[in-house]
Amino acid sequence: MKVLQAKSAGFCYGVRRAVEMAEQTVEAGTPCVMLGPIIHNAHVVEEFARRGMGCVSSVEEVPEGCAVLIRSHGESRAVYQALEEKGIPVLDATCPNVSRIHDLVRKAEENGRIPVIIGRKSHPEVVATAGWCRGAIVLETAEELEKWLKQGENRYDLPITLVCQTTASKENWKKSVEIAKKLCTNAEIFDTMCSATYHRQAEAVSLAKECDAMIVIGDHASSNTRHLAELCEAECNNVVWIEQAAELPEHLLNGAACVGITAGASTPGWIIKEVKNKMSEEIMEIEESFKEMLEKSIKTLNTGDKVTCTVVNITPTELQVELGTKHTGYISETEFSDDPSVKMAEAVKIGDQLECVVQRVNDQDGIVTLSKKKLDANRNWEMIEEAQANKTVVEGYIKEQNKGGVVANVKGIRVFIPASQTGLRRNEPMDSLVGTTARMHITEVNRGRRRVVGSIRSVAAEERAAKAQAIWDNIEVDKHYTGTVKSLTSYGAFVDIGGVDGMVHISELSWSRIKHPSEVVSVGDTLDVYVIKYDPERKKISLGVKDRTVSPWQNFMDTCKVGDIVTVKIVKLMSFGAFAEIVPGVDGLIHISQIADHRVEKPEDELAEGQTVEVKITDINEETKKVSLSRRAALRDAEDEYDDED
């Protein structure tokens, strides 16, 4: 028979922490009582009672001279106030995850919001949480939440703060969140379900699917153990829920090739071991005391050890983490990251797992200080060295400028980028890079001197070369590109079409006659261009902008005819006359003899470039596409019209 035990079976962080606090108090000989069972396990509570730590149900029952141990489920604000008024010392074993929910509902009420708690109303954690505010609404299911929201006409607009306790299933919580988002216009939602509970439940379901029989170990008063059993029963036909090995039925093992074991968060390891011993028919008397069994499960830690820990509480200045030992771990904000842009409270959430290195162990106080930054730094140096060796691209934040270049932060490591490697033009200010993120190559690494040099220019050159090659591999005559004007000359404009510059000749920029490209385009403009011709060997591309699907001559022929009086613009003066633009792309000639109704020595005596005048179309040669114009005839027609009116 194969026996599979869930890795998550047994004490969770909050329960183990409470039991350890009780153990330390008993060992110190401090008179103390539990206010309610420290955990939902009668065997553990009885063991502590035998060793002198009894259990009371109210503040009034606390014996004189005794301290009080607050259980992992927590207590209401009224209980703390009553203990303070009586001067009773408090040892607070409230699970940090539960304390966080207390803070959320308290702050919600202080901010004028309505705390709504999803969980079993009679559960101690839910009762305690509701006791941290006056008007909490406690609902057990998503259906109850929907019904409550629909009871009042204006309830959808209420400012509610939604939290949950782990007696609510993951599915129930997920459905509650969906309803709140759908029906509420002012909902604040916090996922406060314990990740350890969720992982335990998920692992139990997975194990139940795999095994022929399942054993669920835990006190019958434990809600989380009851839910474990229910989840297993949905996946496996042979499930038993027991509190100790003596309750294990013999028939369970008959014909079962694979048996799975899971246990609730309040089940101590020695009970799980006892069950396994009986199953393997190697029953032995447990000689170790409760303390010895507990200490045996506690790992030791040393400075320099690499550990994986779980975030259980977040404050503005530090993280509290679970290490799976008797110690409480802390990561200060200064030891979280070398990157100044990283905000600790935003980077992690409760339940996240982090890899850290042990900095200091205080066995007396049970505290371990950890550093994520130092472990990350070592890995980041290795990444930087690999990037240099493999010539891979890394990304860094440009944080400052100095006289020789700029300084980037690449995963907490200082990288100097010389001015010549910034990729900026000679006169372009380097401070334009500060505050931006850049891609770069690592060109030099000296870990001993903590010196790293990088190059932005080389990455830009590689990327531009790759883009240019892609252009040349796919270029075709008449193919269109969206380009950016890079520079202007007297004869045209150079346009970047994605890694390659092409030239738009001045004659291709506009159908109208222009003297300089700046009349129609500026540096930085985006243009739709097409390829007129290209030479891969000489790496030259001629581009056009004018829409050749539209014929200026045809437009002229469609709108004008001989005898029409039209307004034209003088575009060029010659000794024999003046050229005038009739429509964009079509010019006509006003011969010197047709400029005025009197003799003209020089065209510039009567006309100026850019001037608009009225002329008469006197001739159109469709074959040569030449047009003759007469200002003289237009002037005469105007005089005749005036005389007729008289």
Judge residue 630's burial from the number of C-beta atoms within 10 Å of its C-beta, 0-12 exposed, 13-18 middle, 19 or more buried: buried
CB 333 within 8 A of CB 346: no
For residue 263 the two structure tokens come to 């246990």
Judge residue 424's burial from the number of C-beta atoms within 10 Å of its C-beta, 0-12 exposed, 13-18 middle, 19 or more buried: middle
Residue of 20, 47, 125, 188 marked catalytic: 125
What is the SS3 assignment for 6? coil
Alpha helices in 510-566 (DSSP H): 552-559
**Which residues 6+ apart lie within 8 Å of 403 measured at CB?**
none
For residue 482 the two structure tokens come to 């969206």
Distance between CA atoms of residues 67 and 48, nearest Å:
15
For residue 518 the two structure tokens come to 């700046």
**Which residues 6+ apart lie within 8 Å of 301 measured at CB?**
307, 323, 325, 327, 358, 361, 368
For residue 113 the two structure tokens come to 């919001």
Distance between CA atoms of residues 528 and 513, nearest Å:
20
Amino acid identity, position 203 = E
Phi/psi zone of residue 121: left (φ > 0), alpha (ψ -120 to 50 degrees), beta?
Answer: alpha
Buried/exposed 150-164: b ≥16 CB within 10 Å, e otherwise: eeeeeeeebebbbbb
For residue 559 the two structure tokens come to 């709108």
- Based on the residue annotation, tell me whether 125 is a catalytic residue of this protein: yes
By annotation, the residues acting in catalysis are 125
